[in-house]
Amino acid sequence: MKNNFKSLAGILVLLIIIFNSCEKKEYSLGDLTAPSNIVITTELVGQDAANPNGDGSGDVKISVTADNALSYKVDYDANTPVDLVYLPTGTITKKYTTLGLNTYTITVVVYGKGGTSSIATKDISVKSDFTADPTIVTNLTGDASKTWVVDQSVAGHFGVGPWPASSVTPEWWAAAINEKQACCNCFYTATFTFTKVAASNTYTLQVSTPDGAFTKTGSLTTLPGIPGSGDEGCYSYGGATSNFTFVPASSGIASSVSTQTSIQLEGNTTFIGYGALQKEYEIFTLTPTFMYLRVQGTETGNAWYLKLKSL
């Protein structure tokens, strides 16, 4: 009987502990005040009385402050697709690369407690002057016209890695020799002819695709006539010609890896190698016979790498 009493007493204590642990507890997140008093400060590098829109480098120092702020994100130009970039310290230097004098709308999202957020915008006018190294022009165009194709004979002629400038290799995946031949031979038969138009000091790209364009579909490509859905592959595309310019690369990758020069295609009808959404192809390496490019991939956060050879 004594032992039974002890057992019952033990069970009773256990039940009390369980009951108490199941009692409703209330928690408070505190005051969920959204960030306020957002200030976007911009400093155009080289700006003075004679150069109100900067020194032509396109560099702008951006800093953001706000009350009740925990973190910041910024979109550098409201005229392009939204691409919010995390700012760990609320400060960054952005290089704007569109040639000439252009106005950009900076959009900042400031996050506070409990997921609260506030938005502010600021317009800036920035001048970008840039002249490409003559060797780059000569190697790409032959100072007249030169045609290039994806070089299927080398490993890594197509690759994927993370977009940030801290990564400069296709560390996620790289194509083997001839890897796309069975499924997507159009990737290898498409030609890209770069021409220097001496009379107007301009440049054009002519894309010829006898077997179609290697691209994604729907909203993942800008090329006209591509189906609204489907897998990555070869799709009917009649080719096109557009102007292009040489611009300073916007990635921030060091000169030890990159020429810090990009090919910026105009419009949405042309591409190099792969039908990407973005039209800035950064030149990592360029010789008279070999070209290695990096472009922001269709999916957010991806970088695509392309190796081409001249014909």
Report d(CA 134, CA 147) in Å as an integer.
18
Domain co-membership, 106 together with 152:
no
Which CA distances in Å does 130 have to 46, 134, 140, 253?
Answer: 15, 12, 17, 17
Provide the number of structural domains found in the chain. 2
Same domain for 165 and 273?
Answer: yes
The answer to whether position 9 is within a domain reads: no
In a domain, 24, yes or no: no
Output the pLDDT for position 81. 65
- 209 shares a domain with 150: yes
* CATH number, residue 87: 2.60.40.10
Query: Domain residues for 224?
Result: 134-310
Is position 23 within any domain? no
Mean pLDDT by 10 residues, the chain (311 residues): 43 47 52 89 94 92 94 87 78 86 94 91 93 95 97 97 90 96 96 95 95 92 90 93 92 92 92 90 97 89 95 96
pLDDT score recorded for residue 284: 97
Please indicate, yes or no, if residue 144 is contained in any of the structural domains: yes
Ranges of beta strands (E only) in 57-174 are: 59-67, 71-75, 85-87, 91-95, 100-111, 117-128, 145-150, 158-162, 173-174
Same domain, residue pair 117 and 225: no
* Last residue of one domain, picked from the residues 98, 128, 158: 128
Whether 224 is in a domain gets the answer yes
In a domain? residue 22: no
pLDDT given at position 195 = 98
Q: Are strands 36-44 and 59-67 parallel, antiparallel or unpaired?
A: antiparallel
The answer to whether residues 187 and 79 belong to one domain is no
140 and 120 part of one domain: no
| pLDDT value for 12 | 45
Q: What is the pTM of this model?
A: 0.73
Domain check: are 242 and 138 in the same one?
yes
Length of the chain: 311
Nearest to 282 by CA among 309, 300, 264, 298: 264
Last residue of a domain, one of 128, 161, 192: 128
C-alpha pair distances (Å), 71 with each of 37, 166, 282: 14, 21, 30
Which among 111, 128, 145 is the end of a domain?
128
